[in-house]
Amino acid sequence: MSAPKAEAALAAAQELPDLPKDVDGPVFAAPWQAQAFAMALTLHKSGLFTWPEWAAMLGTEIKRAQAAGDPDRGDTYYRHWLATLERMVAEKGVTSTETLHRTRDAWDRAADRTPHGRPIVLTDADFSD
Protein backbone atom coordinates (compact mmCIF):
# COMPACT_ATOMS: atom_id res chain seq x y z
CA MET A 1 0.00 0.00 0.00
CA SER A 2 1.31 3.44 -0.83
CA ALA A 3 2.18 5.58 2.16
CA PRO A 4 -0.76 8.04 1.95
CA LYS A 5 -3.28 5.19 1.85
CA ALA A 6 -1.55 3.41 4.73
CA GLU A 7 -1.67 6.62 6.76
CA ALA A 8 -5.34 7.12 5.92
CA ALA A 9 -6.12 3.59 7.08
CA LEU A 10 -4.10 4.08 10.24
CA ALA A 11 -5.89 7.34 10.99
CA ALA A 12 -9.25 5.64 10.49
CA ALA A 13 -8.26 2.81 12.82
CA GLN A 14 -7.25 5.34 15.48
CA GLU A 15 -10.42 7.38 15.17
CA LEU A 16 -12.63 4.29 15.20
CA PRO A 17 -11.58 2.29 18.26
CA ASP A 18 -13.95 -0.63 17.58
CA LEU A 19 -12.69 -1.29 14.06
CA PRO A 20 -11.70 -4.98 13.86
CA LYS A 21 -7.90 -4.95 13.80
CA ASP A 22 -4.72 -6.54 15.07
CA VAL A 23 -1.34 -4.98 15.79
CA ASP A 24 -0.70 -4.43 12.09
CA GLY A 25 -3.99 -2.72 11.24
CA PRO A 26 -7.50 -3.54 10.05
CA VAL A 27 -8.54 -7.15 9.42
CA PHE A 28 -11.53 -8.32 7.39
CA ALA A 29 -13.61 -11.48 7.58
CA ALA A 30 -14.67 -11.30 3.93
CA PRO A 31 -13.73 -9.44 0.74
CA TRP A 32 -16.90 -7.30 0.77
CA GLN A 33 -15.87 -5.90 4.15
CA ALA A 34 -12.59 -4.63 2.71
CA GLN A 35 -14.54 -3.13 -0.21
CA ALA A 36 -16.89 -1.32 2.17
CA PHE A 37 -13.89 -0.13 4.20
CA ALA A 38 -12.15 1.12 1.06
CA MET A 39 -15.24 3.09 0.00
CA ALA A 40 -15.54 4.82 3.37
CA LEU A 41 -11.81 5.57 3.36
CA THR A 42 -12.10 7.14 -0.10
CA LEU A 43 -15.19 9.20 0.75
CA HIS A 44 -13.54 10.43 3.95
CA LYS A 45 -10.46 11.43 2.00
CA SER A 46 -12.62 13.35 -0.46
CA GLY A 47 -13.96 15.34 2.49
CA LEU A 48 -17.53 14.01 2.48
CA PHE A 49 -17.42 13.40 6.24
CA THR A 50 -15.06 13.47 9.23
CA TRP A 51 -14.27 10.35 11.25
CA PRO A 52 -16.07 11.69 14.38
CA GLU A 53 -19.13 12.26 12.18
CA TRP A 54 -18.82 8.74 10.82
CA ALA A 55 -18.34 7.27 14.31
CA ALA A 56 -21.49 9.02 15.55
CA MET A 57 -23.61 7.69 12.71
CA LEU A 58 -22.11 4.21 13.02
CA GLY A 59 -22.82 4.29 16.77
CA THR A 60 -26.46 5.13 16.08
CA GLU A 61 -26.64 2.29 13.57
CA ILE A 62 -25.17 -0.19 16.07
CA LYS A 63 -27.58 0.93 18.81
CA ARG A 64 -30.48 0.57 16.44
CA ALA A 65 -29.38 -2.93 15.46
CA GLN A 66 -28.87 -3.93 19.08
CA ALA A 67 -32.33 -2.63 19.99
CA ALA A 68 -33.62 -4.82 17.16
CA GLY A 69 -31.89 -7.83 18.71
CA ASP A 70 -28.45 -7.96 17.07
CA PRO A 71 -26.76 -10.44 19.39
CA ASP A 72 -23.09 -9.89 18.65
CA ARG A 73 -21.47 -6.67 17.72
CA GLY A 74 -18.13 -8.31 16.97
CA ASP A 75 -18.98 -10.26 13.85
CA THR A 76 -21.62 -7.87 12.57
CA TYR A 77 -19.49 -4.73 12.71
CA TYR A 78 -19.17 -4.41 8.95
CA ARG A 79 -22.89 -4.91 8.39
CA HIS A 80 -23.40 -1.80 10.47
CA TRP A 81 -20.57 -0.18 8.55
CA LEU A 82 -22.35 -0.91 5.26
CA ALA A 83 -25.67 0.43 6.59
CA THR A 84 -23.83 3.58 7.73
CA LEU A 85 -22.26 3.99 4.31
CA GLU A 86 -25.71 3.79 2.68
CA ARG A 87 -27.18 6.28 5.11
CA MET A 88 -24.23 8.66 4.91
CA VAL A 89 -24.27 8.97 1.12
CA ALA A 90 -28.04 9.52 1.17
CA GLU A 91 -27.89 12.15 3.91
CA LYS A 92 -25.04 13.96 2.21
CA GLY A 93 -27.07 14.11 -0.99
CA VAL A 94 -24.61 12.00 -3.00
CA THR A 95 -27.43 9.71 -4.01
CA SER A 96 -30.81 8.57 -2.76
CA THR A 97 -31.88 5.43 -0.96
CA GLU A 98 -34.15 4.74 -3.95
CA THR A 99 -31.25 4.83 -6.38
CA LEU A 100 -29.28 2.44 -4.18
CA HIS A 101 -32.27 0.08 -4.06
CA ARG A 102 -32.72 0.23 -7.82
CA THR A 103 -29.05 -0.45 -8.41
CA ARG A 104 -29.06 -3.32 -5.94
CA ASP A 105 -32.02 -4.85 -7.78
CA ALA A 106 -30.25 -4.34 -11.11
CA TRP A 107 -27.19 -6.24 -9.81
CA ASP A 108 -29.53 -9.01 -8.66
CA ARG A 109 -30.99 -9.27 -12.18
CA ALA A 110 -27.52 -9.15 -13.72
CA ALA A 111 -26.37 -12.01 -11.47
CA ASP A 112 -29.51 -13.99 -12.28
CA ARG A 113 -29.05 -13.83 -16.05
CA THR A 114 -25.29 -14.43 -15.95
CA PRO A 115 -24.31 -18.07 -16.38
CA HIS A 116 -22.11 -19.26 -13.59
CA GLY A 117 -18.44 -18.65 -14.16
CA ARG A 118 -18.89 -15.59 -16.38
CA PRO A 119 -18.13 -12.12 -15.07
CA ILE A 120 -21.27 -10.37 -13.88
CA VAL A 121 -21.62 -7.14 -15.84
CA LEU A 122 -24.32 -4.57 -15.22
CA THR A 123 -26.22 -3.29 -18.29
CA ASP A 124 -28.95 -0.68 -18.75
CA ALA A 125 -31.46 -3.46 -19.32
CA ASP A 126 -30.92 -4.66 -15.75
CA PHE A 127 -32.51 -1.43 -14.52
CA SER A 128 -35.87 -2.13 -16.18
CA ASP A 129 -38.33 -4.47 -14.55
Task: Specify the DSSP class assigned to residue 106.
Answer: H
For residue 39, what are the CA distances in angstroms to 42, 81, 124, 126?
5, 11, 24, 24
| Binding test (CB under 8 A) with another protein, winner from 17, 30, 67, 71 | 30
From 86, 85, 74, select the one nearest 21 (Cα to Cα): 74
Q: Of 65, 68, 127, nearest to 99 (Cα)?
A: 127
Q: Which stretch binds another protein (CB under 8 A): 10-18, 42-50, 51-59?
A: 42-50
Closer CB to another protein, 17 or 24, in the complex: 24
**Interface residues toward another protein, by CB under 8 A:** 1-2, 5-6, 9, 24-39, 41-43, 46, 48, 65, 79-80, 82-83, 85-86, 89, 94-95, 97, 99-101, 103-104, 106-108, 111-120, 122
